[in-house]
Amino acid sequence: MQRTTFGGGAPRADNTAAAKQRAMEPGWASPRIGMNTADQFVGKDVTFVGQATDLSDGHATLRCVASGATVNVTQLPAGAELSNFNEMTVFVQAPGTYVYAHHGMLNDDFAEAPYKQLVELITAHHRDLFY
């Protein structure tokens, strides 16, 4: 799989207002969660997809909980420290189904099974949302 780097560097060429608008079409909630918008999830149960694993490339960490697991945003697993919440990104696969990642990188090292599906989900639907 081609190396795909998220975070750092110049804005992506496809990081346009139109591309962001497409990601906000019906069926998709706001994929980028900052300090001033995180409260929309507080107290709500959300379902995460992926593997219950921390992945680190030495620069940033990607973490997701087991597929189908439901957690409350007030009880995010380790790796989702609120002190870094402004750097968290929530990827919406479907209403009520989220994948969250620490701002940073995903590369081909993380594209091997069982992470390939997660990487494809992010690159297919949200690559324009990264800087």
What's the rounded Cα separation, in Å, for the pair 99 and 110?
15
Q: Helical H runs in 5-111?
A: 17-23
R_g (Cα) of the chain, nearest Å: 14
**Tens place of pLDDT for every residue, the chain, 131 residues?**
333 333 333 334 444 454 445 444 433 333 333 333 334 444 444 444 333 333 333 333 334 333 344 433 333 343 433 333 323 344 433 344 444 443 333 333 333 333 344 444 444 443 333 32
Q: Which residues pair with 94 in a beta bridge?
A: 97
pLDDT recorded at residue 98: 43
- Rounded to the nearest angstrom, the gap between the alpha carbon of residue 26 and the centroid of all alpha carbons in its chain is 19
pLDDT recorded at residue 17: 52
Residue at token pair 């962001």: 20
Whether the Cβ atoms of residue 126 and residue 91 lie closer than 8 Å to each other: yes
Whether the Cβ atoms of residue 97 and residue 41 lie closer than 8 Å to each other: no
What's the rounded Cα separation, in Å, for the pair 35 and 48?
20
Whether the Cβ atoms of residue 6 and residue 104 lie closer than 8 Å to each other: yes
pLDDT recorded at residue 57: 36
Q: Which residues pair with 99 in a beta bridge?
A: 91
The conformation of residue 20, written as its DSSP 8-state character, comes to H
User: What tokens does 45 get?
Assistant: 């149960």
